[in-house]
A and B are shown apart, each in its own frame.
Chain A
Amino acid sequence: MTSPAEGFTARPIPARAGIGLRSEHYQDVVASRPAVGFFEIHSENYFGLGGAPHRYLETLRTDYPLSFHGVGMSLGSVDPLNEAHTQRLKQLVDYYQPDLVSEHLSWSSLNGQYFNDLLPLPYTREALNHIVDRVQQVQNTLKRQILVENVSSYLQYTHSTIPEWEFVAQVAEQSGCGILLDVNNIYVNAINHNFNPRTFLDGVSARLVKEIHLAGHTVNEFEDGTILIDTHDQLVCDEVWSLYRDAVRRFGPKPTLIEWDTNLPKLSVLLDEANTAQTIMETLHAQVA
């Protein structure tokens, strides 16, 4: 990163809608400079040291605040934290000064081998203590607060003793991190594990929620049951929009991200989705005010 600047100054993310920055949209985004509240990137996509990805990100960073969303830290693993990984993230964070830095409440590696997936944790006291400790290690290394995101899951462990929402809230309360509330993941898990998604919202206090994620999922129906898969490959569904309205009523307007990773549509589709979220926030906020 031999850029003209020494680094960037902090730039706060407003309580507005943003979109994920995907390499397929680089040209379009740089040329059109869409009116979004922020861009979010997957941190690991910028772990490379130079080249086009950094040129684009530097260009956009001058005009937009950024959120760095990590997928590969393996926060919940019993392996020691990957020092090289956190140090590279620290370099990026120090340089780009994103307003938000987030990771997932999951694990993805064991004995140095990576599964490159967001594997579910059991919701137990032991796992809670472990993840609180890990979040604190990361915050100490980065010298800043991070957010942790609730993940979609396709199974529950028989020995989990804590409801997911309580687990998520406790991680934030005990470690001092914030919560990235993924409303789609709440809905996916509510269907997959048969709970009321509003109960999840009620279990989290507004002051802990620093960002919201929205995405599309896929419904798979089988003779022995239905399972929702967090595919990030389509429009946000009506039920998730409805749950998002409840979330905005409860938590107030929050930076809200439209996530789309597979079968990426043209930029305007993402911007339309962001607009829908923006309108919901403005409408509900106006009602309150």
Chain B
Amino acid sequence: MTNRSQLAFLALLFLILLAVPFMGSRYLTELTVQVMIFSLLALSLNILVGHIGLVSFGHAAFFAIGGYATAFFLSRWQLPLGIAMPMAVLLASIFALMIGALCVRLKAIYFAMLTLAFSMLVWGIIIKWKPVTGGDDGFVGIALPQFLSSPQNFYWFTLAVVSISTALMWVLSKSTMGQIFVAIRENETRANFLGVNVRQMQLIGFVLAALFAAVAGSLMSMYLRGMYPQSAFWTQSGHIVISVLLGGVHSFVGPILGASLLYLLEVTIHQYTQYWPLVMGLILIIVVLVLPEGLIGLFRKLYTSVRRE
């Protein structure tokens, strides 16, 4: 997809999202909130996977840190949302800086395994640190600001935060830094010879991806009125990776499509059967064998063949 068609897609999507609360269905409103949060999470991972070419299996750690920190700051320290949320995102970014500094020294599968290890470390701390995190019972009962207690208001808040985050990621992807990220993905050695400090750029990308994941985690904790250890577990990281692969890693809007479709499928299939994991396994097989470039790749092929005809 060209930049123009992707921008047109995002603009159309934004208009549709503006209309959702007026459709009169609270279910649809609530569902869209979750889809927006998961889309933001997938977009954040795509900074690493799609732009830099680093596959992280520990991205859920920053989602969880953002969520738990927001829960803690709002409920225990009773900070206003305007302070609690940025502080939570900052905390996740600091963690990302420390973890990333070690991870970006490694390549490919070693990078993926180390991120997975750190993610499980975060999960372990969440399980053990019961006075702060609630242990395996989770952090329950977040004190939300009054203005966010209605589903409609929470929807507008989520839409605003997700839209701003998406816009920032779009600007990043088109900036010089974004182009350097792509250069590293395409040929790390050549980028190095061109004077790019590859490790430093990878670390910056790692922290930025974690920052937006923390924003998604923060929103999720407020939506769920709690945060739970499963949010940091490796399966959650795997879920995000599948979302990105399903949508297509080499386009900006791909992860949005992937995350939305995956979540909507999950919700729909759950209403009829408990065999969702089987369906997700099939989706993964199809993506790997038939759709290596995801849904975006499929649309591109269809568009090309239609134009030829």
Q: Do A and B bind each other?
A: no
List residues of B whose CB falls within 8 A of some A CB: none
